[in-house]
Structure 1
């Protein structure tokens, strides 16, 4: 290959600009464009392959840093320094695969050379998800593809990482063609793999059985009127609970809690067999927690329903609260209690729970519980269940982004995800990623989501082998790097 086949002079900066612009829309944000996730790396790779190593990598990092800062500004989170620092660090890590491609692609034949970037990209995404406190909320290419159902089915085999691999692989394939190197065989291989994925996804969707046994599930969040009355009494934003605050807080919390109990009765009378609340839907002082559970149990017993509650229990000292999902059965007993396992870094300072997801056998299937941000950690959500409840609480700026991530957990594990949220978009998706229910807190005066949910999930390869594909990419990265280092350019 000659350097004339690479982008040089002013042309390479055109590729950089195009990659930077597409990269803005390739991040999984409120304005993401799914196709941009497939295309942006083509342009950036065209730039880095025709530029000096350090200069090329520096320019790419500056473009990704700008996209990251724009993303956080739109998400209203530039004020949280741990999140900003963490996202910039992740941007740097996610740019390293382009550096690896720049350094190593010449040391292999055309086919093996195309594997450097996708293998390294998946390895970077996976290691961030496993090691960092950010999970898959930022970075994975696949997260922009939640609406592409045939491609989405690949997650049932490889998790999200197979989709990311397929998207990243397109960049070196396209660059082979642009460099007019030997690319026909490699292109045929890629087209065949993509065809198998699309065909297999289509067949899986077409062969999905029609669920005969459905259960009516209702998700409710506190009404805006109740929340406003609570805030007028006491919004509880003091750093430490004082004894003299407790009577006022009880009065304020009772407004929201009574609203939830009243609306639970309405949905139960309408036929719901399971009623789900959002994260921290109920607010309870630790002194009153036992009495609150008794009241919830009495309601569940009276209406003969399963009540999935999101409760913030305010403690007297440090830590200042527990963020809980508590499942109450129709006999009034507490069936499971789950402490949020992944507090949001920089925003939530309470200790993490153990991350062991409780699964409860019921006449309506196996019911499981996590809390909000936990759904961005595939390892935590990998369990055998039929319905996974995700009580959540978002904010304006991430409502689409965060709700869409739940779609991948449903397909990966073969269960229905019922994600009831305040201040965001509540969503119900079946084991194939199909939408069963949706409501937007910001456009609905009272957020209620009702869905008829399959009582039985389905098995998936991913549910059995877990992140095997991602680990193979980590191993592939190490092998390719070792072989490349041992060879002369």
Structure 2
């Protein structure tokens, strides 16, 4: 039991990290196994405290900025984590209670497996603890040998007597009981994703964005489905009997039907097969030479994109003018690059690059208030074509930012990317000798930094081909959130471009594959090319989002049935 708690605490240090995704997968399993093994409330409370203290180490980075000392940031993170893990602990204990009652309902207890079968039995013998709990293993074998216990009738009578003291329901069935925790687990995170101030930040599925194949399931049922899968891994792993139970000195196996495990393994393999096939989209069926990929064979010029991270406003404008003159199609500023409003007439629009687009970020003072809007404004040829205010300011850190009321939505933007050559295949050179430009209308949406951690915000932007995301990070979260934002691209089927100060700048395609990526600090300029790709429709946007809400709807019923069954059994 102590080893389980130690492993739970260690894996909690990597619970949302892509550096060790296996820790994120098995941390709930280890913690659930600890709670099942520990039958004393003091031990469970101690475990909750230890795991919360370790998990808060990661949460500290989300709260830590220059104006917030590490110690205060740790305490703030600990408060949030303690509440979350308190709720998770309760839900795990519900699963433990269902298992305990399921064992008694089905005549199962903690007798060592080496004594659990006898001759002439068609099924394993599992003796109910309330009837045989005081008997030693030797006594049981001795009584059987002396004929005092009939291999079928007497044992069946014992099981039935024990079962009568429990209110057995559908959730106690061996094929259903392992689904209790995954459903409750998903319910909690679905509510957190939608209504909490932190959204999907720090959830256990974050690190799985870097697992090819598995991550593609979010295009069907969203990121929340990976949370369910992790919860399912926990119940299967803890329930298969690989952990010691204090009720006996042998290894026990909870009542999980073999058919249930087969279903889990089959669905997991199906997820990887589906994901692997989807990962190959746009790359050919076989391992073709890169020159044969559809994206490289297509006669479409890529967008030339530059990311400019924060420096002085005048310098940002000067560098933007340089990039317009250099022929860039899209220039993106990192989040809050200017403290003052930025207007189109501040830039030098080029006659040779008339369709250049600038996505400038700034603070805009709210009228008659001491608060500001955190805005990104898309401009082209001296005209504002789209504007957006951050919907989800970071709690505490952005307490002075007013929430925008308009959710991300797509805008038709006409880009004129330039071909790399001007031979006969692509057309003649221009009068100046430059390669020709191609006209492409791209449905483009915008969001800012923390917005990408809230899946529901993009419900109105599902038809977008391209999403632009200015960001500003601190501490170590720039890497984690870059990877987490990959889920938004897969869920919605659009290409994602990020420009981040103290984070990762670059782009991922609509299948989550990295097109370009570079760690960028302040005062940086990073130029890269992004293929023009039409967005794809996903099952998630067509109704797959309902999966998480289905778990929310089922959870109260499961919780009430489990508690009612527990109370009924105790009262008899």
Q: In structure 1, which of residues 181, 184, 190 is the aligned counterpart of residue 264 of structure 2?
A: 190
* Residue in structure 2 matched with residue 48 of structure 1 by the alignment: 35
Instruction: Kindly provide the CA deviation profile for residues 176-208 of structure 1, in whole angstroms up to 9, marking residues without a partner as x.
Output: 322334542222111101000000101112234
Question: 8 Å contact 2:494–2:509 — kept in the other structure?
Answer: yes
Superposed displacement of residue 53, structure 1: 6.0
Q: Name whichever of 100-109 and 340-349 sits farther off.
A: 100-109
* Residue in structure 2 matched with residue 294 of structure 1 by the alignment: 344
Q: Name whichever of 110-119 and 270-279 sits farther off.
A: 270-279
* Residue in structure 2 matched with residue 200 of structure 1 by the alignment: 274
Instruction: Kindly provide the CA deviation profile for residues 138-195 of structure 1, in whole angstroms up to 9, marking residues without a partner as x.
Output: 2x22111111120110000111111111122112212232233454222211110100
Task: Tell me the TM-score normalised to structure 2 length.
Answer: 0.71
Is 1:413 the counterpart of 2:492? The answer is yes
Instruction: Kindly provide the CA deviation profile for residues 240-263 of structure 1, in whole angstroms up to 9, marking residues without a partner as x.
Output: xxxxxxxxxxxxxxxx22322232
Is 1:428 the counterpart of 2:478? The answer is no
* Residue in structure 1 matched with residue 176 of structure 2 by the alignment: 112
Is 1:446 the counterpart of 2:433? The answer is no
Q: In structure 2, which of residues 306, 311, 314 is the aligned counterpart of residue 219 of structure 1?
A: 306
Q: In structure 1, which of residues 315, 330, 334 is the aligned counterpart of residue 384 of structure 2?
A: 334
- Structure 2 Cα separation of the partners of residues 86 and 73 of structure 1: 10
Q: In structure 2, which of residues 194, 207, 225 is the aligned counterpart of residue 162 of structure 1?
A: 225
- Within-5 A mapping of 1:61-460: 61-75=48-62, 77=64, 78=70, 79-80=72-73, 84-105=78-99, 106-107=101-102, 108-138=172-202, 140-178=203-241, 179-181=252-254, 182-208=256-282, 210-211=294-295, 212=298, 213=300, 215-222=302-309, 227=311, 256-284=312-340, 289=341, 292-296=342-346, 298-299=348-349, 303-304=353-354, 305-314=356-365, 318-329=369-380, 331-349=381-399, 350-362=401-413, 363-382=440-459, 383=461, 384-442=463-521, 446-460=524-538
Provide the secondary structure at the position in 2 that maps to 1:454. Answer: coil
Q: Name whichever of 73-82 and 409-418 sits farther off.
A: 73-82
Task: Tell me the TM-score normalised to structure 1 length.
Answer: 0.83
Question: 8 Å contact 1:312–1:321 — kept in the other structure?
Answer: yes
- Structure 2 Cα separation of the partners of residues 365 and 448 of structure 1: 22
- Structure 2 Cα separation of the partners of residues 47 and 353 of structure 1: 44
Q: For the structure 1 residues 299 and 67, does the alpha-carbon distance in structure 2 shift closer, same or farther, using more than 3 Å as the test?
A: farther
Q: Name whichever of 379-388 and 356-365 sits farther off.
A: 356-365
Q: In structure 2, which of residues 523, 534, 540 is the aligned counterpart of residue 462 of structure 1?
A: 540
- Please give the root-mean-square deviation of Cα atoms over the aligned residues, in Å: 2.4
Larger-Rg structure: 2
Is 1:59 the counterpart of 2:122? The answer is no
- Structure 2 Cα separation of the partners of residues 300 and 270 of structure 1: 10
* Residue in structure 2 matched with residue 249 of structure 1 by the alignment: none
Provide the secondary structure at the position in 2 that maps to 1:35. Answer: helix
- Within-5 A mapping of 1:22-37: 22-26=11-15, 28-29=16-17, 32-37=19-24
Question: 8 Å contact 1:403–1:427 — kept in the other structure?
Answer: no
Instruction: Kindly provide the CA deviation profile for residues 202-222 of structure 1, in whole angstroms up to 9, marking residues without a partner as x.
Output: 111223473444532423224
Superposed displacement of residue 438, structure 1: 0.9
Q: Name whichever of 122-131 and 354-363 sits farther off.
A: 354-363
Superposed displacement of residue 373, structure 1: 0.8
Question: 8 Å contact 2:479–2:504 — kept in the other structure?
Answer: yes
- Structure 1 Cα separation of the partners of residues 493 and 371 of structure 2: 36
Superposed displacement of residue 316, structure 1: 8.1
Question: 8 Å contact 2:61–2:476 — kept in the other structure?
Answer: yes
Give the structure with the higher percent helix.
1
Question: 8 Å contact 1:83–1:345 — kept in the other structure?
Answer: no
* Residue in structure 1 matched with residue 151 of structure 2 by the alignment: none
Instruction: Kindly provide the CA deviation profile for residues 392-411 of structure 1, in whole angstroms up to 9, marking residues without a partner as x.
Output: 11112211112112101000
Question: 8 Å contact 1:100–1:120 — kept in the other structure?
Answer: no
- Structure 1 Cα separation of the partners of residues 469 and 192 of structure 2: 22
Instruction: Kindly provide the CA deviation profile for residues 295-319 of structure 1, in whole angstroms up to 9, marking residues without a partner as x.
Output: 2465377742111111123568633
